[in-house]
Chains A and B, each alone.
Chain A
Amino acid sequence: MKYMIFMNRCISTNSIILILLTGLLTHGCGLSEEEKGRSDSQYRVSDFMSGRDTALFKRADKPRPIQFPRDLGAHPAYKTEWWYYTGNLSADNGRRFGYELTIFRSGLRPDALKIGNPSAWRTKHLYMAHLAITDAAGEEFYSYERYARGAAGLAGAQSDPFKVWLENWQVRRGSESSLSSGKKIPDMLLQAQAEPISLDLRLQSVKPPVLQGDRGLDQKGPESGNASYYFSLTRLESKGTLSIGKKSFEVTGWSWMDREWSTSALGKDQVGWDWFALQLSDNREIMYYRLCNKDGSASAYSNGVIIDSTGQKISIAPDDISIAPQAYWTSPTTGVRYPVRWQMNIPEQNIKLEIIPLLENQELQTRFKYWEGAVSIIGKYKNETLDGYGYVELTGYDDEVNRGSSKR
């Protein structure tokens, strides 16, 4: 989903509204096409409508120091951002689960409100959240979405004490003592539920934050400002409870958090991406995203890193890596065909990985549908066996034309 948020086409103010609204409005065009006539009042309707509002936001055009806990909180000067949690968990009996909890923020016009003493419901932000659980043994995939205004306590994000929430889906700082040990990242409590699932985890970062790109400025397109601020917590020790219906599981595992904020990240030729977040058994992690051009080719702005056990990062350029789909799965609901098995080779690092989904069907049945799922990894580093778990996000497959006919 991150990818879509990047795409102005999809996730400008108006389109998030569209997303939000499609919840309200099943068949469109209820509003009459009245001329947007002139008005003497302070605000003109057109002010609220056009896509040019991105101009009112700051752009991610140069590296800025990323600080904690400040940058855990919201960045209202930028149009969009998210808190993206994924993780692989296992129950006492070895039953494997994957989870995703993402909270998106989309800024409305930052200059629009000039109301003295406004209502607490006045908002500059729309929030959207996705929650998904993969139950490998039960062969079930659960997905949910929610929308709310960033006001009246219904949704929001704050840095200190850290909390990001949409209604009762939330991630917040654990005990204060978790910070005293001099760590930058506090322990986090992640809680979300939606009938019949519920998730209650404590996340503890065991590695320092990874600043992606150039000191956290991750260039995604050719123009200045076609970038985002981006850091990741690649190894979060996770422990807690996961319930499905009346069954409750004590779970442990590893989670991954991505924090990203930007105003207009992608170029207009980019139509989708494949994103990999892999946590390997040798305490290394690989993050790689492959941006896809309209013609089906991989964008030169595709990018990745390998994090070693101490938290040091090694960049991966598109030329350093090959990713080949091994199998496809066609969604029965959308008819979209996703590649679901991959062969990833990073020759320079002597890494060869087979990436296998826990379930083939991990397409989120949200307003905008995409595939984001838990994967297991079997492979080799040099000659040693390597395994692990991870998460893969696939977007842009809904339109074959967008991706070009030549699949990689």
Chain B
Amino acid sequence: MVELQKVSKQYDDGTTKHPVLQELSLKVNAGEIVVILGKSGSGKSTLLNLISGIDTPSGGSILLDGEAVSNQTDRERTLFRRRHMGFVFQFFNLVPTLTVQENLLLPRELVQGRVAEADEHDAKQLLKGVGLEGRHDSYPDQLSGGEQQRVAIARAIIHDPKLILADEPTGNLDYETGETVLRLLDEMVRKKQKTMIMATHSREVIGMADRVFQLYQGKLTKDNLEL
């Protein structure tokens, strides 16, 4: 479903080039949960950005469902992303000026162009599923960090995407809340049989992964050392 072929990425700050990813290859199958472990600054977010099409690789190619993303225009990538991807970020997941429900419905509306009552019903159901029943009219900054992440998880799957990208979804949370959120994420993804790539620095996550990779100095290695 997702295939990376010798993908490289380097940033240019004017004087020197900083290689972030070096000829990195990876294949993720449908329904698989892959965890990318890495320290802060190892290039995890960059990797996710490349997969989502937010960023473009300096070399190599990325195939989504067999199609090379790198050949697409920004607009095509955006439309693909909107349709087939869900996101959970470390922080700032929600649009602050929209209510919880509005945030939740945002992907649906993006895909469908409009929302119907059925969508609102789905949203409420989903909210119930993540344990936030009745909070649909709240604004994001009225929720706790864990609650916000739960909304984000709900939002990531509401439009039934093929691929969910999670970037340190628990990075901003305390241990306990993180656990809860992870469990929820695992549960939701598994239940809906989604593919998910999650980037994290926390080894606690490993348990829910089908496969674990480690990102170190721009290279990806299969992580089996401490399993």
A/B: CB atoms within 8 Å of each other? no
Interface residues of A (CB under 8 A from B): none
Which B residues fall within an 8 A CB radius of A? none
